[in-house]
């Protein structure tokens, strides 16, 4: 799939993985619609060819309204990248008591339900586009985590939500095959995002020591690079690709 002159929708586009992805896609000629919460958009650096729309990915009306702003006659929607997510930490049992049910529910709502909400609504728009010669109309790329496979202590809610994203990949690809839409997932390891940078250099260096090779944290730009590769590789479908430097997470 050629990224130039298409519309790409990126959630969580105001920071981290989403910001890096939106920026690279725009540099490659895509018209990017970046979804994020208004508070995050207000703080982000604006980039040419990225139009930000304040959106709660868990809200059906919000996502539908954002999709309705896309002019498919000018640049058809063919790529969707789900990066929006939260990563709370809480044990099932701790000195503070039991894991809050509300926190577990909210994590599933944002990471899993939000991903599905954008996937289902955007796939309906992509399915209306003109198919390429091989019948392809577009691709949807979701974001999981290595925590889906090796959730650490305190990651019960996060691991469950990302495990759900991985589990959706194959049935989603099968469901959307007849519409010419591919579905793939990226499962990053430890990425040097602004949230991680706030932990300080000592913590970040300690995390990097556990990575077999390359012995460093991943960069958001590398996630964005993988997004482009998946989009351009027309035979990649129903795959979850780990981007982790061969890391297998320890219990804590």
The percent helix, strand, coil of the chain (3-state, each to 5) is 40, 20, 40
- Nearest Cα residue to 196 out of 87, 110, 112, 114: 87
Q: How far is CA 111 from CA 76, 78, 85, 162, 245, in A?
A: 26, 22, 5, 7, 23
- 81 forms beta bridges with 10, 141
Residues labelled catalytic: 158
d(CA 172, CA 164): 12
Contact (Cβ atoms closer than 8 angstroms) between residue 110 and residue 82: no
| Tokens (6 digits) for 206 | 């300690």
| Tokens (6 digits) for 35 | 């979804």
């Amino acid at each position: 799939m050629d990224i130039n002159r298409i519309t790409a929708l990126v959630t969580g586009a105001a920071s981290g993985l989403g910001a890096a992805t939106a920026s690279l896609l725009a540099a490659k000629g895509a018209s990017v619609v970046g979804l994020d919460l208004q508070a995050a958009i207000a703080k982000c650096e604006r980039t040419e060819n990225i139009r930000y729309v304040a959106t709660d990915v868990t809200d059906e009306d919000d996502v539908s309204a954002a999709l309705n702003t896309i002019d498919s006659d000018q640049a058809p929607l063919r790529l969707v990248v789900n990066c929006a997510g939260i990563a709370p930490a809480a044990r099932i049992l701790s000195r503070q008591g039991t894991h809050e049910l509300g926190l577990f529910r909210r994590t599933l709502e944002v990471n899993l339900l939000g991903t599905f909400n954008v996937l289902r609504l955007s796939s309906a728009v992509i399915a209306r586009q003109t198919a390429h010669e091989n019948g392809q109309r577009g691709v949807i790329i979701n974001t999981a985590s290595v925590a889906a496979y090796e959730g650490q202590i305190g990651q019960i809610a996060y691991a469950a939500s990302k495990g759900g994203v991985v589990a959706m990949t194959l049935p989603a690809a099968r469901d959307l095959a007849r519409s010419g839409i591919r579905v793939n997932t990226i499962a990053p390891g430890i990425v040097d995002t602004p949230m991680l940078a706030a932990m300080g250099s000592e913590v970040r260096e300690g995390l990097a020591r556990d990575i077999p090779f390359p012995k460093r944290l991943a960069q958001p730009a590398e996630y964005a690079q993988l997004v482009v590769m998946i989009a351009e590789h027309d035979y990649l479908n129903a795959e979850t690709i780990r981007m982790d430097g061969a890391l297998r997470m320890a219990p804590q």
